Amino acid sequence: MYSEKNIFKMIFPLNCLFLGDAPARAIQVKISDTIIVDNCTTKYEDITVSDVKSLILSKKGVSYSPDNLNLWKVDRDSVIKNIELLNPFSTENDIKEKLGGELMQPLLYLNEYFIEDSFKDKKSKSAIHIIVQHLTTTTGKCLPIFYLSNKEIAVTKYR
């Protein structure tokens, strides 16, 4: 018995950097003529930004939901000039203003943001294309603390 291997032609690489990470920690997601997301094959022209989120999470080896990510298409030259100014607490305005960022909409097709011709030269292929912003959510774990802070508490000294 042998396992069937899928071999697809790469169209272009997308270099992705999580907000606050050093550029050396960037990951590359290969966009090919066909990709596999959620056990389904998808042709290049049908790849959505949401599919790219899933590819990034898979490549990074993390299991949180794709809706906890914002993807920002960034300007190559602005990234080279300003990447060190960003940190995990950077705001959306920082990404827009310092990196020429454009928030990518999950239901739009990837080819509305990137086309194969954009990746002809080596500088374009090696640049950061996407800043990944991990959105943190409130879990409610701090609610009991606020509840207790509104109660009168008797302090007893223990020896």
For the chain, domain boundaries? 10-149
d(CA 43, CA 75): 26
When the pLDDT of each residue in the chain is averaged and rounded to a whole number, the result is 83
Arithmetic mean of pLDDT, 54-82: 91
CB neighbour list of residue 20: distance below 8 Å, 6 or more residues apart: 86, 87, 88, 89, 90
* pLDDT bracket for residue 76 (50, 70, 90): confident
Closest to 11 in 3D by CA, of 119, 148, 129: 119
Closest to 104 in 3D by CA, of 136, 73, 66: 73
d(CA 153, CA 159): 19
Which segment of 97-101, 108-112, 146-150, 153-157 scores lowest on mean pLDDT? 146-150
Query: Could you tell me which residue, 87 or 135, shows the higher pLDDT?
Result: 135
Residue 122: its pLDDT value, please? 86
User: Which residue intervals of 15-109 are DSSP H helices?
Assistant: 49-60, 76-82, 92-99
d(CA 70, CA 50): 10
Decide if pLDDT at 57 tops 90. Answer: yes
Question: Beta 69-73 vs 40-43: how paired, if at all?
Answer: unpaired
Residue 123: its pLDDT value, please? 84
73 HSE (CA, 13 A, CB side): 15
* pLDDT bracket for residue 117 (50, 70, 90): confident
Tokens found for residue 58: 């898979």
Span 10-149 CATH architecture? Roll (3.10)
Arithmetic mean of pLDDT, 115-127: 85
